[in-house]
Amino acid sequence: MTILSLLFLSVIVTKIQFNSLPLAFHPERIIRPLDPTRYKASRNSMATDFKSIPLIDIGPLVSKWDDPNIEQDEHVAEVVRQLDKACRQAGFFYVKGHGIPDSLIKDVREITRTFFSLPYEEKVKIKLSPGTGYRGYQYVGENITKGVPDMHEAIDCYREVEPGMYGELGKTMEGSNKWPSNPPEFRNMMEEYITRCTDLSRKIMRGLALALGGSADEFERRGAGDPFWVFRIIGYPVLPNGSSADMLESDIGCGAHTDYGLLTLVNQDDNITALQVRNHSGEWISAVPIPGTFVCNIGDMLKILTNGIYESTLHRVINKSSKYRVCVAYFYETNYDAAVVPMDACVNKTGGVKKFGEAVYGEHLVSKVTTNFVI
């Protein structure tokens, strides 16, 4: 989840809701600039009918994820059924039985807290810059989402893009991550964690592929076999007394948005509730932290692939705490250069009409990254 933080996500996120216009289908694979305003979360979608966010034990899927007979396993089938229901109804779910050690999940948050508690001069040594593909640290309230400072500090990381890797499409994002030398084990721990999140996301996506009636590796064969990822390490400071709730709701932390990619894994502070998810009635359901779990949510690319069968649910982060809050969000994306279109099987299940046009992931990412930050 977005943790709220996720909000964070400002980077990947599209704050604009989609409009439900059926979009013209283009038979040729033309790459058109992605205009996020073309999409919008339809209010009468099938998803987002829920009162609470389900908790799913994905243990069987995690242990059988690459078994060629996975489709015959009844325990996996039960996980798949629960994932499908959660994605249709809420677009959000917690997972346990995911195989990532609790100690690593906690250590990642603790080291994040340690880094953000360092003096500004220390943190700014890895300052975010265009020269490294917008990777690095930026301070609270400095530079901006849509002209409004977000009240958080963060380290933004992206999968490394080598020069020339995606031609013009990849130029803006070329570069390697900037890691602090203090705390010394920061880089190793985060890289290990990212690898594990990538593996876990692939496993969950296999479950979702089965849920949609495809083969387990359906997504890997359709534009997500070489997935891009975004990783945001976020800290939310305690706000000064006198910040109004109105202000919080609209601007701070993260205003309501959907995530842009396929699947988000949120590692949120255990004792602070700040992430909220909107249901079909328009009520905000809190994603109360459950220790040892990840909050997962699906993003716009998966919504497009499933032709709207799965919803990318609106969520926001609000501050309710008097303590510094950290959130570490991992975003599993399609291939950087994937041109994403609805899958035929899903189009068939939804009446045969494509609801979305083609979206090129890398184009959208670049547009977010270059407009969200003033450097």
Ligand X SMILES: *[C@@H]1O[C@H](CO)[C@@H](O)[C@H](O)[C@H]1NC(C)=O
Binding residues vs ligand X (CB under 6 A): 49-51, 138, 142-143, 238-241, 245, 248, 270-271, 279-281, 283, 285, 291, 319-322, 348, 351-352, 374-375
Q: Which is nearer to ligand X, 22 or 225 (CB)?
A: 22
Residue 234: both structure tokens together = 């976020």
Q: How far is the CB of 219 from ligand X (least distance, A)?
A: 21
Q: Which is nearer to ligand X, 67 or 344 (CB)?
A: 344
How far is 229 from 335, CA to CA, in rounded Å?
Answer: 9
Q: Counting beta carbons within 10 angstroms of the beta carbon of residue 33, is it exposed (0 to 12), middle (13 to 18) or buried (19 or more)?
A: exposed
- Give the pair of three-digit tokens for residue 114: 């340690």
Query: Which amino acid does the sequence have at 80?
Result: V
Q: In angstroms, what is the minimal distance from the CB of 248 to ligand X?
A: 5
**184/351 with CB nearer ligand X:** 351
Query: Residues 93, 99, 104, 110: what is their CA dihedral angle, to the nearest 10 degrees?
Result: 10
The minimum distance between CB 353 and ligand X, in angstroms, equals 8
- CA–CA dist 124, 339 (Å, integer): 36
Residue number with CB closer to ligand X (72 or 271): 271
Tokens of 295: 């909050």
Report in angstroms the alpha-carbon separations of 228 from 113, 193, 273: 26, 15, 29
Q: 64 vs 315, which CB is nearer to ligand X?
A: 315
Q: HSE-up of 143 (CA within 13 Å, CB side)?
A: 17
CB of 109 to ligand X, least distance (A): 10
3-state secondary structure of 227: strand
| Cβ proximity to ligand X, 167 vs 351, nearer residue | 351
Q: How far is the CB of 252 from ligand X (least distance, A)?
A: 9
Query: Residue with CB nearest ligand X?
Result: 322
| Minimum separation from the CB atom of position 362 to ligand X (A) | 24
Q: Which is nearer to ligand X, 63 or 273 (CB)?
A: 273
Tokens of 364: 């959208």
Name the residue nearer to ligand X (CB basis): 169 or 314: 314
CB 195 within 8 A of CB 152: no
The Cα 10–Cα 254 span in angstroms is 7
The nearer residue to ligand X, 50 or 231, going by C-beta atoms, is: 50
DSSP per position, 200-222: HHHHHHHHHHHHTTS-TTHHHHT
- Of 84 and 333, which CB lies nearer to ligand X in the complex structure? 84
Fill in the amino acid letter for 109.
R
Element counts in the chain: helices (H) and strands (E) = 11, 15
Q: Where are the alpha helices (DSSP H) in the chain?
A: 4-7, 59-64, 74-89, 102-116, 120-123, 186-211, 218-221, 245-250, 300-305, 344-349, 361-372
**Joined tokens for residue 125:** 């040594």
CA distance 347 to 341: 10
Q: Which of 235, 216, 219 is nearest to 227 (CA)?
A: 219
